[in-house]
Structure 1
């Protein structure tokens, strides 16, 4: 298919390269030959590196930083309300001038743009719901979502917590690209005791680092644990080095690597990837990142990740926050068991989570909606 003259405006709520940011790249790739795509990124949520912006520019996508009324907990106060009001007219005017045939809201945090889009006579609005609505803002999000005409959820968990009728929402699981070829094994893994486990996430309080490090100690420090990621630019965060010092009596078995430009090679070389989230998780992208390399995932039963992992088939599942249950799994896991689960995890990736599966489904949904309007 060739690009049409119809314009698609994609609005996103951050300029980083974490889960939802990478899914924007997949949406752009899926729809780039159906629409003329433009992307708006916010100016208030950046870590200074503009990684998503630079990647979109590299791919030749029209992208702009715009001061947008993005829903964030930090703005849920009188000064935040004033900021939203101040941005109402300029945002409406930008939308009116852009006049796209369809607008695509990449996260629920973008939903304040839905009424402004309606006011700007943009009637075709897709919402990609990438997070469970479990906070006090859920009723507001639900009301704003009714101003969209198409809703896509990344998992059954996310669809359930949206509170929207099942007929009003489509579930399309996330995807990750095929493995990069000729990845090198990190030097730290070559010189450390196996099995090698990797945890890769932001150091938010709810991501379960405390649970994991307690379990690691309770399991007798069974191998080497590599901790990737770093503290988020805002919101609740934990200090992983301090947690290691607090809970682990053999700290040499935990290597805090931090932010890395190439987490894929760490995941590919691991014997297992751990997602120890303590609260509800919408999907758990790192699980399928592990699957693509034939690496099993050990996840908490926190929603989305437990939809991906089949216990003792493609990985292991434990109750959220239960460090002893996780410790029992780690203590009992053998490298041979991990290898066998990894082989089946790779098959699961090929059957469900490739870019081809995701692109086909997104294109189908947007094509059908366009044909009907």
Structure 2
């Protein structure tokens, strides 16, 4: 007799294809053979192309869009909270109808579903914490997290920011898939460039440090070529990167705004170094691991998670957040050969710590510890 697989409902806070979205894909990959998966994505936070939705469909994972209560700073006001209250009864009914054995919350923004899952009678709830908690929201998020049986954090930085007991949070470091495919024609055009080639690949959010980087680029005298990937998300926190280039860089030919691309891997292949100049706190910085996978060095601000991955002057370089002069000095004094040597060390770090095989094994072990599939 064939045994029916248990159902795991994954709830996520965005439909894009950035850091936490890609970790959802890895979680689904880790659990799809043992569980009947269903994914709920929100209707209010998308990149316009539904890239995560389409990728899940391509992988034959059941996925739907739902108008649901996701904790966003822009909604933390009387109007937003009133809207949440109106959604709660329908969400409880919908969760009961889903008949899930386990609910997996992909980010802290989904934590309202922890008590809702309990009200719906779901036996188990896992919270996967991917963002550092600020002081103001930590009190509420801690209370909500107590409704989860199990909590995972992507770094020590994230775990510490929650204020939860260290023995109540398991740390599972992120991973990125192994390389596949070949460079695109655009990336191939920059081969043979004598000065270092740098890349920044992230959302165009205010805290990501684009202005810090561009001011440092100007201070350093445009020490090579800088490529900027990404796009501005919906919401009030986006920045106009082309305008920042016009305002801060006297040689616009030294900076190329690539924008959103289908295959960012090709650009990692083409450059010498990835830069993550976050001005505030970063939970992990998945692009650092991506850089290491490609055998590239990483220059990062000392913003939490990235500094847990990078070893200064071994596989990359670390500077103080918002320190324009410090970042400029690193770029101005580091040679292409030194970056390439650090990139080789980064590749070894990836193989030791950040492969999908290691991540999948860890996720299966954590979920099975709470809710065995046999």
TM range (shorter): over 0.9
CA–CA separation in structure 2 for the residues paired with 1:354 and 1:9: 25
Of the structure 1 ranges 220-229 and 76-85, higher mean CA displacement relative to structure 2 is found in: 76-85
Contact in 1 for aligned 2:197/2:225 (Cα 8 Å): yes
Partner of 1:168 in structure 2? 168
1:326-371 CA-partner distances (Å, limit 9, x unpaired): 1110011111101110111000000000000100000011111114
CA–CA separation in structure 2 for the residues paired with 1:112 and 1:144: 7
CA–CA separation in structure 2 for the residues paired with 1:301 and 1:114: 32
Contact in 2 for aligned 1:4/1:34 (Cα 8 Å): no
Three-state SS of the structure 2 residue aligned to 1:25 is helix
CA–CA separation in structure 2 for the residues paired with 1:150 and 1:13: 19
Q: Displacement of 1:44 after TM fit?
A: 1.4
Q: 5+ unaligned residues in a row in structure 2: which ranges?
A: none
Partner of 1:85 in structure 2? 85
1:158-215 CA-partner distances (Å, limit 9, x unpaired): 0000111011000000000001243246155248663110001111111101110111
Q: Displacement of 1:135 after TM fit?
A: 4.5
Partner of 2:266 in structure 1? 265
CA–CA separation in structure 1 for the residues paired with 2:189 and 2:3: 46
Q: Displacement of 1:123 after TM fit?
A: 2.9
Indicate how the Cα distance of structure 1 residues 4 and 326 shifts in structure 2: closer, same or farther if over 3 A, else same.
farther
Indicate how the Cα distance of structure 1 residues 216 and 372 shifts in structure 2: closer, same or farther if over 3 A, else same.
same
Three-state SS of the structure 1 residue aligned to 2:332 is helix
Partner of 1:146 in structure 2? 146
CA–CA separation in structure 2 for the residues paired with 1:264 and 1:195: 18
Partner of 1:367 in structure 2? 368
Q: Displacement of 1:15 after TM fit?
A: 0.6
Indicate how the Cα distance of structure 1 residues 16 and 37 shifts in structure 2: closer, same or farther if over 3 A, else same.
same
- Correspondence 1:48 to 2:43: no
Indicate how the Cα distance of structure 1 residues 165 and 301 shifts in structure 2: closer, same or farther if over 3 A, else same.
same
Three-state SS of the structure 2 residue aligned to 1:48 is coil
Three-state SS of the structure 2 residue aligned to 1:189 is coil
CA–CA separation in structure 1 for the residues paired with 2:49 and 2:134: 30
1:233-265 CA-partner distances (Å, limit 9, x unpaired): 113122112111211121210111111111111
Q: Displacement of 1:58 after TM fit?
A: 0.6
Q: Displacement of 1:218 after TM fit?
A: 1.1
Three-state SS of the structure 1 residue aligned to 2:136 is coil
- Correspondence 1:33 to 2:33: yes
Indicate how the Cα distance of structure 1 residues 298 and 38 shifts in structure 2: closer, same or farther if over 3 A, else same.
same
CA–CA separation in structure 2 for the residues paired with 1:235 and 1:20: 20
- Correspondence 1:18 to 2:22: no
1:12-67 CA-partner distances (Å, limit 9, x unpaired): 01111010000000000001112111111111112221111111111111111111
Partner of 1:322 in structure 2? 323
- Correspondence 1:244 to 2:237: no
- Correspondence 1:289 to 2:290: yes
Partner of 1:122 in structure 2? 122
Three-state SS of the structure 1 residue aligned to 2:183 is coil
CA–CA separation in structure 1 for the residues paired with 2:3 and 2:131: 31
- The alignment's TM-score, normalised by the length of structure 2, stands at 0.96
Of the structure 1 ranges 321-330 and 226-235, higher mean CA displacement relative to structure 2 is found in: 226-235
Three-state SS of the structure 2 residue aligned to 1:151 is strand
- Correspondence 1:206 to 2:207: yes
Contact in 2 for aligned 1:11/1:104 (Cα 8 Å): yes
Partner of 2:349 in structure 1? 348
CA–CA separation in structure 1 for the residues paired with 2:301 and 2:4: 44
Contact in 2 for aligned 1:130/1:282 (Cα 8 Å): yes
CA–CA separation in structure 2 for the residues paired with 1:202 and 1:177: 20
Partner of 2:278 in structure 1? 277
Q: Count the aligned residue pairs.
A: 372
